[in-house]
Amino acid sequence: MIDMQLLISGIIFGLSLGGIFFLMTIGLSLCFGLMRIISLDQLLYYSIGGYITYSVSLAVGNIWLGVLGGVIVGGLAALAVERIVFRRIYDRDLPFTMITSFGVLIGGVGVIKYFWGLVPRPVPVPIDAQVFIIGTEIPVYRLVIIGIAGLVYVGIWLFLNRTIIGKAIRAGTEDVEHVEGLGINVYRLFTITFVIAGGLSGLAGGLHAPLIMVDPNMGLEVLAFVFMVVIIGGLGSIKGTLVSSFLVGQVVSIGSLIYAPLAQMAPFAIMLLILLIRPTGLFGSQMLKR
């Protein structure tokens, strides 16, 4: 029987981990929804966000300024990759774009090693305060991460449903040719989406950095969990990404309390079970061609 305080702590840990997973994978879902590419290079921008947070916080002593820097540099890195690499391969098959994006990720890891070295680097937690929830001491910083993830989801929903650019992106996810027929520059929408995705991945890295030690392979280390989140939720589904992120976060957290190996095994088991019932994921739809 799990102690109640340990259970509450595990639930909060799972929610905060789910928030990080959501920020990591939302960019991948956005890119697939509009451009029909699997953008594994989002994990590179996640790593960049972590390292920029480390460097800026070390230089000026302000973690939040470092997180902001990680968002900006992550977005700029995504812009550069989109212009140099992806703009040339949008018409290629899905496996080709996935392999290309993985190549960008591996190459980016090499660049990170060149500039920051191989030694893992610690990032201080910006908020040391603790609060009591049902008699359990909970770090405030984890609650902040959960809140930021929720605000990002609301912000994305408002952007896609309440702005002209967002509505054009939503229309593009359904029928790119129709959007082009209205005189809208689809490639500009691609660029905007890629920059937003890269910035959010950088935000994930910046927020996660104080909870782990940043190292060059941090993006590769979460690759399996990212795949599980997007497959369970359904590729291209923002709502599905949110639900599956928190589901996987809880499974990893609670599973580790029950039996440590479950933290690695249970998410895969859930993914296989869901795929047997719904091959497109919880909220996924049949793959559309651009």
Q: Name the residue among 47, 71, 38, 43 with its Cα closest to residue 230.
A: 38
H or E stretch covering 136: strand 136-139
Q: Name the residue among 64, 210, 55 with its Cα closest to residue 117.
A: 55
Instruction: Identify the pLDDT of residue 112.
Output: 96
Q: Percent of the chain at pLDDT above 70?
A: 93
Distance CA(235)–CA(70), nearest Å, equals 26
What confidence category does residue 286 fall into, taking pLDDT thresholds of 50, 70 and 90? low
Q: Percent of the chain at pLDDT above 90?
A: 53
Residue boundaries of the structural domains of the chain: 4-277
The CA-CA-CA angle for residues 246, 247, 253, to 5°, reads: 85
Instruction: Identify the pLDDT of residue 92.
Output: 85
197-206 mean pLDDT: 96
256-277 mean pLDDT: 83
CATH 1.20.1250 fits 4-277, yes or no: no
Which of 41-45, 85-89, 97-101, 261-265 has the lowest average pLDDT?
A: 261-265
Distance CA(186)–CA(49), nearest Å, equals 28
Residues in the chain: 290
Instruction: Identify the pLDDT of residue 206.
Output: 96
Region of residue 134 (left: phi > 0; alpha: psi -120 to 50; beta: else):
left
Gyration radius (Cα) of the chain, Å: 19
Spatial neighbors of 64 by CB under 8 A, at least 6 apart, are 126
Q: Name the residue among 277, 274, 202, 281 with its Cα closest to residue 26.
A: 202
122-144 mean pLDDT: 90
* Chain mean pLDDT for the chain: 88
Q: pLDDT, tens digit, for every residue of 8-62?
A: 888 999 999 999 999 999 988 888 877 788 899 999 999 999 999 999 999 998 9
Q: Does pLDDT of 290 surpass 50?
A: no
Cα separation values, 149 from 29, 40, 183, 259, Å: 15, 20, 34, 28
170-191 mean pLDDT: 74
Distance of CA 52 to the CA centre of its chain: 17
Helix, strand, or coil here: 235?
A: coil
Instruction: Identify the pLDDT of residue 175.
Output: 63
Tokens describing residue 143: 């609650």
> Which range, 72-76, 123-127, 253-257, has the best average confidence (pLDDT)?
72-76
Q: Does pLDDT of 289 surpass 70?
A: no
**183 phi, psi to nearest 5 deg:** 85, 15
Q: pLDDT, tens digit, for every residue of 98-120?
A: 999 999 999 999 999 999 999 99
Tokens describing residue 222: 């979460």
Tokens describing residue 27: 């960019």
What confidence category does residue 174 fall into, taking pLDDT thresholds of 50, 70 and 90? low
What confidence category does residue 261 fall into, taking pLDDT thresholds of 50, 70 and 90? confident
Cα separation values, 271 from 20, 36, 53, 248, 277, Å: 19, 22, 32, 9, 10
The CA-CA-CA angle for residues 38, 36, 101, to 5°, reads: 30
Cα separation values, 172 from 52, 119, 166, 184, 194, Å: 33, 43, 10, 10, 14
DSSP state of 210: G
Q: How many CA atoms lie within 13 A of 55 on its CB side?
A: 16
Q: Does pLDDT of 63 surpass 70?
A: yes
